Structure 1
């Protein structure tokens, strides 16, 4: 269901913090036109942590409605409360998402057994496919490869893949051996997406694709076609931009960058997130110029 370049979409906010639906619809339309192979609304980059339940799934519904089945929608739906996570995944299904993207419980720091039981409880309450999202740098909770294999073995029709943002490339092999060749592995880090694909990944849930969707789509298409030289060339071209996206707290830099490409779009942030600082903006400016994006 998921492969290629899949942007983790920003959520456009007006100066008063309200969701700007027209700008979000325009973002979805532009991403599809530029070759993105799927869309992730209300993930980390979409500032999901600052959205109410109603806002969260309104954004998902708008994304589904605008996409009109042209690309699959993977909706952010995780929580550190298992009961809320169950409500979230069922709400994502009602909103029309094709699958849910779910982190393990954050802050609580459950054991590996607790992680398994969390996802077991979710799987018993939904038929919506789930892509696990392992990002210990944010959640402090790491789904170890053995635990991931156990989750997938118990519910193979529910847990279809992983967005791996551990930065540990060896895990791609470990997870393939444990979860099977059909288990979809997507990089959660743009800067390692080339190496991730070489280890057995099939795409990237990308921050940079918000700003350079065509280049990111072309990079993934080149790799899929076996054109390693072209894929590496595009990777090198995009690499400084990948790095620049995290020179300040995300999504500050990516919203700044997207604002340069689409200056008429409202791209404010909700507290506690703040705009990218001067050094970050300078890095973004230089990387965008180097990539030929702006």
Structure 2
């Protein structure tokens, strides 16, 4: 029996499909760990040139809970300037607005709109919370379902189906890794009604095959070109090549699953010197969290190194039309 399709109208503004990097926050290599806005600017442009279809700031990978309200606004202004200077002023910038209360999340939503964000993403898990925030947000809202940081609370298919009917809730990021949940949603909603994104690149190919439209992956901080390439190959109909690259990406991403400290170390090790950011402390987590120890550093290099050859073989993005079809 055919699955009944939703009759809700298409949303006015949807998150463009593709691979999005949840960008790490970089600090000055000093005890006080102020935000290094120059480094953030440089890293942002590196990710865009690397072919990422959009960037996510101030989420779990961005250590949002450790940033002040003013620091968050400073970062957003910096990255909006970075993409504008690169020639893609309309490049998609998604910003986390999860707060400790509904009021705080609404306040953060207003800040992000004023500072230049394109979309807002929240990781709380109650239907009423999402509805209240979406009602007040000037930006379209993406639901961030991440049971690992919400004491195991997991939005199920029925929850997401109900939230999808809100005119200002446009997509979900499934960091729960539940491909079956994604299939249930894509069987009922078109991408124009409610889009489904995987929460990492190690199951991007299955997400696309199931009707999803992309993913958000911490590994893109280290290998932006290779992670985006899976999506690009799939869209071009080169599925065998996409599947082959998916195998390598999935193995490299295993290190990111272990901890944020390893993701940041990997970025520093493989990318830092390319960007003139040679001090490893720039990539340390913010205190009180600790950087990776020597044993895990060595393991991370071994695990991530499988993707170096593929990453180096992919050319950087050239601008004219812009990134992701936007800009000049």
For normalisation by structure 1, the TM-score amounts to 0.90
CA distance change for structure 1 residues 177 and 232 in 2, over 3 Å: closer, same or farther? Answer: closer
Q: Equivalent residue of 1:97, what SS?
A: coil
Shift of 1:277: 2.4
Shift of 1:288: 3.0
Q: Which has the larger radius of gyration?
A: 2
CA distance change for structure 1 residues 45 and 27 in 2, over 3 Å: closer, same or farther? Answer: same
Q: Equivalent residue of 2:42, what SS?
A: helix
Mind listing any 5+ residue stretches in structure 1 that lack a counterpart?
Answer: 106-114
Contact 2:186/2:210 (8 A) holds in 1: no
In the alignment, structure 1 residue 50 sits paired with structure 2 residue 70:
no
Q: Equivalent residue of 1:74, what SS?
A: strand
CA deviations 1:140-163 (Å, max 9, x no partner) are 33222111111221x22x111011
Q: Which residue of 2 aligns with 1:161?
A: 171
Q: Which residue of 2 aligns with 1:148?
A: 160
**Aligned pairs, number:** 281
Q: Equivalent residue of 1:273, what SS?
A: coil
Q: Equivalent residue of 1:254, what SS?
A: helix
Contact 1:148/1:179 (8 A) holds in 2: no
Alignment of 1:246-261 (within 5 A): 246-247=257-258, 249-250=259-260, 252-260=261-269, 261=271
Contact 1:17/1:269 (8 A) holds in 2: no
Shift of 1:46: 0.8
Larger mean CA deviation between 120-129 and 16-25 belongs to 120-129
Shift of 1:92: 0.9
Contact 1:244/1:280 (8 A) holds in 2: no
Alignment of 1:25-104 (within 5 A): 25-68=41-84, 69-104=89-124
Larger mean CA deviation between 59-68 and 159-168 belongs to 59-68
Shift of 1:6: 0.9
Cα distance in 2, alignment partners of residues 80 and 178 from structure 1 = 32
Contact 2:198/2:214 (8 A) holds in 1: yes
Cα distance in 1, alignment partners of residues 196 and 38 from structure 2 = 32
Contact 1:186/1:205 (8 A) holds in 2: yes
Cα distance in 2, alignment partners of residues 131 and 31 from structure 1 = 21
In the alignment, structure 1 residue 122 sits paired with structure 2 residue 133:
yes
CA deviations 1:106-126 (Å, max 9, x no partner) are xxxxxxxxx121112112212
Contact 2:201/2:227 (8 A) holds in 1: no
In the alignment, structure 1 residue 230 sits paired with structure 2 residue 246:
no
Larger mean CA deviation between 173-182 and 158-167 belongs to 173-182
Cα distance in 2, alignment partners of residues 280 and 198 from structure 1 = 34
Larger mean CA deviation between 205-214 and 172-181 belongs to 172-181
Q: Which residue of 2 aligns with 1:200?
A: 211
Contact 1:80/1:104 (8 A) holds in 2: no
Shift of 1:70: 4.7
Give 4+ residue runs of structure 1 displaced > 6 Å after superposition: none
RMSD, aligned CA: 1.7
Q: Equivalent residue of 2:144, what SS?
A: strand
